Chains A and B, each alone.
Chain A
Amino acid sequence: MVISKMPVYNLYMGCSVPANYPNYEAATFKIAKAYDMQLEYMEGVGCCGSPNLRAIDYMGWLTVNARTLAIAEKNGHDIVTPCNGCFASLKDAYHFLKHDADYRKKVNAILKKESLEFKGTITPRHFVEALYTDIGIEEIKKKVTKPLDGVGIAIHYGCHLLRPVDVTEFRPEYLDELVQATGASVVEYPLWKQCCGATVLPVDENVAIRLARDKIKSMKESGAEFITVVCPACGNQLDLQQLGLKESYGEEYNLPVLLYPQILGLALGMDEEEVGLSMNRVPADPILDHLTG
């Protein structure tokens, strides 16, 4: 008989989820608890800097993320994060430093002040990838007590979860299967790979909104009744910005956006308050009508 040990993870929350999406944070914790994944908030860390920091100050961005990785290396557990932006920063820095000895030396010279060193001994991962890989679809399905009735959900993976694939090592099947495990159907739509526009928001708001709108339109036209995301920035673009489309484009989509742990949480029998459904901007309670069992 194999006695399984509860996996422990360093939880890197970043800045956007705790400030803007406490429902995502709470639902992530509840999912982890349901599957015996032990998430421990990391001590002494903050923001990843985002792609904006990478754009203006590569060395600063690399060092900040190497520092987070080095702190996690002290206890030896992998990092998990619920944010695509944090995942991209950590994974890109990890991948680059693993392959570039010169930069590794430069970064470690700075980290030495805090008696830290990047060695590359732990891996930064997105929470949903850890759920998929370490728990597995069969185990996930076993705990589903209120499966969805096959309702069509469009997945927005988010660019920084998928690409560049040699860095992220994330495959779209992971999220497809995770959504199907709840009993929902995955709706394929032409613009599935397209960006939500979040990164360009500070430079050109109109372009950012157009990208979000094109994406939502493509989902709706393909028959989606709900959207799921695994990133606060993507969530903001598709959910909050959707409300503004009435004014800017004269279009109303009424396509609720749920964070994936909210959907799984409901399928596990949690109620709408436990997954913070009332905080979603486009009213998301129609999902409750699709729960069975």
Chain B
Amino acid sequence: MAETEESTGPPATLIDPIEMSKLDTKFREEIHSMPNGEELSACFACSTCTAACPIANIWKYKPHQLIRMILLGMRDEVLSSDEIWLCLTCFQCQERCPQKVRVTDIFFDCKNLAAEEGKVPPNIVGLGKELLEKGQLYTVTADWEREDMGLEPDVPGLSVDGLRNILKETRTSKLVDGDK
């Protein structure tokens, strides 16, 4: 029998061990109580969601891992991850989940929690600013094109105040103010 070489460093592991003391055991309850989060704990980690995701190959944390991380309480890692913002919101993961976990909806919940802590990609804050200031994401600039098509140059019935007044009182205004 060949003798094994004496190991000097820490034991080799495939992945970094999880720091148990840093886990937030309340995180799963937090998500559970958010819109469409009820089915979260039904996940049995089959990773069908990851197989369904068209861009999971470029993600460090795959969709099934993110769900597992939520269940374990890895709050900081999930809410600071790029992945939740890269989600296409195509709902392929959610559609195929055999346990009816609303995976895409849960990522929306995660983005809202990240936003509450001000962790939002700058371009998305920019869209929030656009909504708060102009009341819409696209504004008619080429009104001659509308007239060419026999349409009113201004969109009939359009009013941006309703949306702006609502968003002034909700998180969007906090995010946009915080960015200044």
Contact = CB atoms under 8 A, between A and B. Distances in A.
Interface of A: 13, 15-16, 18-20, 22-23, 25-26, 29, 41-47, 49-60, 63-64, 67, 96, 100, 103, 110, 114, 159-160, 162-165, 193-195, 197, 199-200, 202-204, 207, 211, 276, 279
Contacts, number: 181
B169 interface: yes
A57 B172 contact: yes
A103 B33 CA distance: 12
Highest count of chain A CB atoms <10 Å: which of B135, B155, B166: B166
A60 B171 contact: yes
A44 B163 CA distance: 10
B108 A211 contact: no
Contacts of A100: 35
B10 interface: no
29 contacts: A15-B138, A18-B140, A26-B149, A41-B157, A43-B159, A44-B157, A46-B135, A46-B159, A46-B162, A52-B127, A53-B127, A53-B128, A53-B131, A55-B108, A56-B112, A56-B115, A56-B120, A57-B170, A57-B172, A60-B172, A63-B166, A103-B35, A114-B162, A159-B91, A159-B92, A163-B95, A165-B95, A195-B88, A199-B88
Interface of B: 35-36, 54-55, 58, 85-92, 94-95, 102, 104-105, 108-109, 111-112, 115, 120-121, 123-128, 131, 135-141, 145-146, 148-151, 155-160, 162-163, 166-167, 169-172, 175
A26 B146 CA distance: 8
A116 B172 CA distance: 22
Contacts of A57: 112, 115, 128, 167, 170-172, 175
B112 A45 contact: no
A80 to B, nearest CB: 14
A40 to B, nearest CB: 9
Highest count of chain A CB atoms <10 Å: which of B88, B95, B128, B175: B88
Contacts of B139: 15, 19
Nearest to A197: B88
B137 to A, nearest CB: 5
Given A26-B151, A164-B104, A202-B127, A279 B145 contact: yes
Given A19-B141, A103-B35, A54 B108 contact: yes
A26 B111 CA distance: 37
A67 B166 contact: yes
A16 B138 contact: yes
Contact of A22 (B86, B88, B148, B170): B148
B54 A194 contact: yes
A164 B131 contact: no
A200 B149 CA distance: 31
Given A64-B162, A67-B166, A52 B151 contact: no
Contacts of A164: 91, 94-95, 102, 104-105
B63 to A, nearest CB: 14
Contacts of A58: 35, 108-109, 112
A190 B46 CA distance: 24
A70 B162 CA distance: 12
A211 B94 contact: no
Contact of B88 (A16, A19, A53, A159): A159
Contacts of A15: 136-139
Contacts of A96: 35-36
A172 to B, nearest CB: 12
Contact of A51 (B86, B89, B145, B149): B89
Given A51-B89, A159-B90, A207 B58 contact: yes
B87 to A, nearest CB: 8
Nearest to B58: A207
Nearest to B138: A19
Contacts of A18: 138, 140, 146, 151, 155, 158
B111 A56 contact: yes
